[in-house]
Homo-oligomer: A and B are copies of this chain.
Amino acid sequence: MSENIVQRLRDQIENDIFSGRLPTGHRLDETKLANQFGVSRTPVREALMQLGAIGLIEIRPRRGAIVVEPAPHRVYEMFEVMAELEAMAGRHAARRHTSADCGTLLAAHEKCGRSLQAGDADAYYYDNDAFHAAIYEASHNDFLKEQCIALHRRLRPYRRLQLRARNRMDNSFAEHDRIVKAILNGNGDEAAAALRMHIAIQGERFSDLVAQIAAERGGLSG
């Protein structure tokens, strides 16, 4: 499939982490992974190194790699930064967008609307990605775009949890609407504010979720 083994390994391990097959704290033994995938340790090491660079796993010298679930407060921090980056993208998009950008953005927005009406959370999830990608693109700052995509990807598993929440899809779409209007009107500050809130809400929802789980666990175990 992939051109080289390293990328295939990286994607596979990444998926295994996101899907929970490789739980937090799990030790990633190079030899075992190599055997498991039927390759040698060399590409495994390189794949692990790449995952370490993203921050998905922690590589401790001479002590192997472990899966790190970022502490909840860290995920919250990441949402904070994401909110600011998205706000920046929105501000620039409002000022710099071309007519082609408008078309892409509107099309993505309408696609979200159709998925919402169909009640298809999975479809909405992907359409939402495209919607945000359109904003990054319209910001006409490629470096910003890359940073946004990387962080968006990193936060993927946490966002995915949220669309299941009651009314989240409706609210999300309403927020998108405000964002689109601001960008098309060239109102950078409004676009930034709308996007910042749109993302910040997710961070807060995540925090709520963590608190809820902690409470449940507390109730069960002590």
Contact = CB atoms under 8 A, between A and B. Distances in A.
Contacts of A142: 74, 77
A141 B80 contact: yes
Nearest to A92: B80
A50 interface: yes
Interface residues of A, number: 22
Given A53-B50, A85-B84, A74 B143 contact: yes
Interface in A114-170: 141-144, 147
Given A53-B53, A80-B143, A84-B85, 7 more contacts: A45-B46, A74-B143, A77-B143, A77-B144, A78-B143, A81-B144, A84-B88
Interface of A: 3-4, 42, 45-46, 49-50, 53, 61, 74, 77-78, 80-81, 84-85, 88, 141-144, 147
